[in-house]
Structure 1
């Protein structure tokens, strides 16, 4: 039982048709989906499933624990579309776009702050990165750096490399807490042209200019060796 992850190749794809391949873990398992499951610090997508005149709200999307490789769409309501049924899968577009903008912005932060990352959270309303360092951070300098990289309109793209290529370039892995998945023979890497290159399975914009007005809302000392940077949108009413 496996789900074809359409979002890995095209983060702009917001809908698809899919077949129900199972029930369990609080939701519906599909043979393919455009919904990103919680992982890598990024929140899962929400959206809808539709069949005929029925419509179900997808409250969360998670990787299946019972069926490795499958994705569970947790839906509101007691009745579920039947196994074998064809459903329309739709992503909450505004939430997805917020995730794409914030996730790409965290890659810019990694370029500006060359320290290992030991925590990450990407949501619809904020993003944060925890850096392993005791160095003080200059909020204004980070803000100016983000604005510059956004304005420079760097192309953003993903590609796949072999596990052997990753092993030969261990410096590509910035995260201390989340390691790239192994055993598939290949690893997805995200490149912000001329700025950042690292393994990442999340959804991103295609150009840094699409991030728009982003602000550093907070810098915190979380521990002796941890500095946290929190990002928000300049206009929180426009995700």
Structure 2
């Protein structure tokens, strides 16, 4: 049986603390709640870690968050040796906020990179210290220096980052919104979540279920650490925090 969890992070990525009621404990000890602010691993972004606080003040440490039979079933994996909550128990959910915020900044930076490099995306992964995007990019004129400069221009401009929902039909009518060459956003649920950068999407709009900052300035100092050739026309860009090191 698949359960449905209300994904609070989709509407408020800054919700570091929330409450949830235990719906089920699966055969592997995974905890399913009626609502959660913990992001589940998806779209190249790692799931959240943190802890659940019980009414007596004791903690259940959460080592990973994943999806279940559907994207709407979110399973929280306790660290080894943790207590098991009761069905129906109300818990206070604490996301590891410093880690989450770094991932939000990184994920937003990945969206900005896809604007600087407007080519089909063949792979991506968001990390706490480094993220990567692979592009089907034949143009060798993109360098660490000029891409970093353009990224930082967009960061400093502090454009707003927001979300909105469109229908499956609207997505079908606007195929250019999809940047991934190999992965298509799930359709059939009637709604697709768009992450929008700039007023009315003047900078970018693309389907994404991840967590992002509210303004590009929050991304902070970033740079392209490396550009690797992964095939005839496939190049991997590695994004890192901090300024571009002087060679």
| Shorter-chain TM-score tier | over 0.9
Take 1:105 and 1:211, find their aligned partners in 2: how far apart are those partners? 7
The answer to whether structure 1 residue 192 and structure 2 residue 197 are counterparts is: yes
The answer to whether structure 1 residue 90 and structure 2 residue 94 are counterparts is: yes
TM-score in terms of structure 2 length: 0.91
Take 2:192 and 2:239, find their aligned partners in 1: how far apart are those partners? 27
| Deviations 1:158-183 (CA, angstroms, capped at 9, x unpaired) | 10011110000001000123321212
1:104 to 103, 108, 126: 108
CA drift at 1:26 = 4.1
Name whichever structure is richer in strand by fraction: 1
Distance 1:187 1:17, change over 3 A: same
Alignment of 1:1-239 (within 5 A): 1-24=3-26, 25-51=28-54, 52-65=56-69, 69-76=72-79, 77-136=81-140, 137-193=142-198, 194-234=202-242
CA drift at 1:139 = 1.2
Distance 1:123 1:68, change over 3 A: closer
Distance 1:182 1:132, change over 3 A: same
> Does the aligned pair in 2 maintain the 1:40–1:178 contact within 8 Å?
no
Take 2:72 and 2:155, find their aligned partners in 1: how far apart are those partners? 35
C-alpha root-mean-square deviation of aligned residues, in Å?
1.3
CA drift at 1:84 = 1.1
CA drift at 1:110 = 0.7
Gaps of 5+ in 2: none
CA drift at 1:68 = 5.7
| Deviations 1:1-42 (CA, angstroms, capped at 9, x unpaired) | 210000000001111111111112442111100000000111
Take 2:190 and 2:128, find their aligned partners in 1: how far apart are those partners? 32
Q: What is the aligned residue count?
A: 234
* SS of structure 2 residue aligned to 1:20: strand
> Does the aligned pair in 2 maintain the 1:45–1:60 contact within 8 Å?
yes
Structure 1 ranges of 4+ moved more than 3 A: none
* SS of structure 2 residue aligned to 1:36: coil
> Does the aligned pair in 1 maintain the 2:61–2:82 contact within 8 Å?
no
141-150 or 222-231: which moved more? 222-231
